[in-house]
Structures are given as C-alpha cells and as structure tokens.
Structure 1
C-alpha cells in the first residue's frame, strides 16, 4: 500500500498570453488543472505513486486531459467518462496592484454527473496509503459530496491517512447543501487538516482572527470537535502587491505550535495552484520527514510554484530542497 489517491474535477483553464485582459487579446493559452489534480501531479513529480479519480468528458478534450495526467505518471484507471463537456474557467492574470480575475463555467460539466455507483472504491483504494480531498468537490454537486463521503468512509475503515483541505468558495455551493454541515460531516473521516483560521471558522461557526494566538485557539476547538484530526497545517500568505508575496507555514498538533520563516517571492509568474503546491509538498513531507521539515518543504514548494505558468507545480524534490538550503539567487545550474 503506497499509493496517494486524489478525487475531484479536472478542469481546463483559458487565459490570454502574459498579463493581458481578454479585451486586449484574441489568443488564449490553455492548461489543465483542478485543485486535487494539481496536488496529485505535484506529488507524482516528487516521485510519489498517485491515482486520480474523476469524471471526464468523453471527447478529444477529455482524451487530452487524461493524456496530460498520464504524462506525469498519474494512474487514471478509476476515472470514468461523461457525455457532458469538461469544466472550464477563464483567468486574467493581474500584475502589481491589479489582481487576478476568474470566471467559472463548471455548473454542467462532466464532473457534475459523478455519482457514488460510478466509482468502485474498494478497487480504487486497494493500494492506497493516503487519501486527499478538498472542499471544492462537495461544493460542486451533490453527487460529488456523496461519492467523496463513500470513499472517506471506506478509507477510515481501512485506516488510511486522510488529509482535508476544506477550501471554502461561497460561489460554488449552488445545489442547496449547507457548507458548514457538509464539510463538518466529511471532516469526521479525516486525520490531517490543511487550512487556516478562515476554514476553521467556517466549520466551527466562530470568528477567530489571523494571529498565531487565534490560530491556536481555533485549532484547540477544531481538534475537540473532530477527534479524528491529529494535526493542523496552515499556509500563510502576506501580499505586498499582486506581483510580490511572502509565504510561510504554521502548525498546531494539540501540544505544540511551530512556524517557519518567510519565503520572499518578489516576482510572481502565476499564483494559481500555489495552495495545492503547498498541500502536495506537505503531504510528501509528512510521508518522508518530521513535521517541521514537512512544513518547510510545503512552504518552499508553494513558493516555487509561483514561478511556473499554469496550475501545476513542476518542481522536483531536489529543486525544493535547493530552496530550503538557501539557494534562492536563481543562478544558472551548470
């Protein structure tokens, strides 16, 4: 059992070249991504054995998406197909004081057809040692919620480590489910919480602030409400402007608080998927290092993702370790 399993929508991103607005351009670049996909591909780039489960359009676009996943060694054998089109989103990449702008078109995507009977969880989790989910999937559709829950119930029975990134996007919850109740239900089957005070406030109904003290207090309440969760990890982003951010990580495990130093990102190429890069780096780190080294690895992986166009972090373990060793000058590798 050595496979990391991710479950969620595969989505296509369309963007004008460089930092143009749509009105400035008649050329678009496309990338494949999706929160859980980004995590899976990044872990595969670190050398992990990854399976991604989804429902993808049964057309040439879906064929291309599956080929993209397989290019990185991601197992797609449990992915099913649909006659509905792949979900897409449109992104204008900001710069300096102009922020990114996103518009989604995913309400009637192929993934919206996903239902529990379409996934054989016994087969899908046969070789699984780690299962990762995010709050995007139960937000998209009722079938996504029920299918995910079925997988989580089985994962808990099997004693599989389960990381939860309960990312809350208010604009995605359109089918009538209560986000707090739904995410709380799924957290009962999870062991690692990847999220900050905002995510904890959403499931706790609290209003803690962003300070370390509030993070710890919220963490204490979260661990009490969800006894299966053992550790909480958070990525802290400090924006100077749209092109310059700082990234660090912090943790609460019920007994100890730890925090890393900042990684300074002075020129952002693309910040989409940087939270996913953190989650992937953290998961890889927790499987291979101690907690603090895992936090550092996740933060460094997130920082490096800001240097790549597209949704995915293409960094290797050696490249992340190079950053951790303080080699941040960007000098040529010869």
Structure 2
C-alpha cells in the first residue's frame, strides 16, 4: 500500500437533527471533519499509510482531533499544535427537497492563521507516494494560497504524485479570487 500525506484544516462540525433549522435547535451533534481529513480516513480504511498535516489548538479540542484521526488509523506525526482555536462549522441538516446549509466559523483558527510552512519538507514528503490537498486550503488566506503552491512544488521535487480536489467553496472566496494566479 502507498504512503500518503493529506494537508488541510480539520474542524468541529456542529449539526442539527434532520430537518431542524439552526435557529430552532436546542441541541447540536458534534463531529470532527473536513475534506482532507475525510480523505485521510478513507485511505486508512483501505490500509494505506496515511498522515494528516494540519494545525490545531493545544487544548482538549486539539487532543480530540488527534484521537479522532488515530482511531481510524491516520498518523498525526505532522499535526502541529498552537494557535487560538479550532475552526468550526454549523450544519443545518437538510430533509426532502431542502438541502443542507452550512455556516462557517473558521476565521482566526490555528490552521487559517499559519503564515509559513512550519513543516520541514524533507520530513513531510520523505518516502511519500501521494500528497493530497484541496482547493479549500488556498481559499483560507493569501498566505495559504502561496503555501499551497510551495508545498505542491516541494512534494513534486520529492517525487510525490499530487492529488488535488478542486473543491471550490463560494462561501470562502469568489470565482474571480479563485481564478487569480498571484502565486
């Protein structure tokens, strides 16, 4: 099986019961998740050696993230700690014709505030077959737009194949911003 590194922000999802609107709920269900973390867990289920690279706060929520990923066999050697908070999102679970609705609360999160690549590329990509990242990460900030490109280049230099999930999120940036090539 292959060795894979996924990079992205894992968040705390707070979701309503099916069919209940956020403004009407008195209870929210919690779950850790995010596009890249979900890919990591799926690949670990197929017995790949998977590492998740991110940054979470050094508190019980950050520890919860680590335990969640480890529970599914995802390695957290590249899970950094520090920063002020874990990003969250609220999901109003859809029902019937009504689609799910999401409200993001991720500005100022530990991952989003990273301005530099805090991983040593030689360590992050050593003997790695595939580097997976999504279009969500560069949407988080101008720093992440630049860091994503730098990390992809470092992975390619190390001989990794690149897996890119385009995953455009209109709530994070406009199509015009996503289409700019200022990196």
Structure 1 length-normalised TM: 0.51
Query: Within 2, Cα distance between the matches of 1:111 and 1:158?
Result: 24
**Equivalent residue of 2:122, what SS?**
helix
Contact preservation (8 Å) 2:5, 2:132: yes
**Structure 1 segment 277-288 matched on structure 2, within 5 A:** none
Superposed displacement of residue 127, structure 1:
2.2
Superposed displacement of residue 16, structure 1:
1.8
Query: Within 2, Cα distance between the matches of 1:93 and 1:18?
Result: 5
Residue of structure 2 in register with 1:158 after alignment = 158
**Equivalent residue of 1:170, what SS?**
coil
Residues 32-91 of structure 1: CA distance to partner in whole angstroms, max 9, x if unpaired? 111111111111111111001001111111110111011111111112112311000001
Residue of structure 1 in register with 2:98 after alignment = 98
Structure 2 length-normalised TM: 0.91
Residue of structure 2 in register with 1:179 after alignment = 178
Query: Within 2, Cα distance between the matches of 1:156 and 1:181?
Result: 22
Residue of structure 2 in register with 1:325 after alignment = none
Which protein is richer in helix relative to its size?
1
Query: Within 1, Cα distance between the matches of 2:70 and 2:28?
Result: 24
Contact preservation (8 Å) 1:15, 1:91: yes
Query: Within 2, Cα distance between the matches of 1:107 and 1:59?
Result: 18
Q: Relative contact order, CA 8 A, sep 6+: which one is greater?
A: 2
**Structure 2 gap ranges (5+):** none
Is 1:72 equivalent to 2:82 in the alignment?
Answer: no
Residue of structure 1 in register with 2:44 after alignment = 44
Is 1:19 equivalent to 2:19 in the alignment?
Answer: yes
Deviation beyond 6 Å, 4+ runs, structure 1 = none
Superposed displacement of residue 154, structure 1:
1.5
Structure 1 residues 120, 5: CA separation in 2 closer, same or farther (over 3 Å shift)?
Answer: same
**Equivalent residue of 1:44, what SS?**
helix
Radius of gyration: which is bigger? Answer: 1
**Structure 1 segment 244-259 matched on structure 2, within 5 A:** none
Residue of structure 1 in register with 2:167 after alignment = 167
Residues 91-116 of structure 1: CA distance to partner in whole angstroms, max 9, x if unpaired? 11111111111111011111112233
Residue of structure 1 in register with 2:129 after alignment = 129
**Structure 1 segment 1-334 matched on structure 2, within 5 A:** 2-173=2-173, 178-182=177-181
Query: Within 2, Cα distance between the matches of 1:108 and 1:159?
Result: 33
Superposed displacement of residue 25, structure 1:
2.6
Query: Within 2, Cα distance between the matches of 1:20 and 1:91?
Result: 10
Contact preservation (8 Å) 1:7, 1:148: no
Moved more, 121-130 or 152-161: 152-161
Q: What CA RMSD, in Å, does the superposition of the two structures yield over aligned residues?
A: 2.0
Query: Within 2, Cα distance between the matches of 1:19 and 1:66?
Result: 31
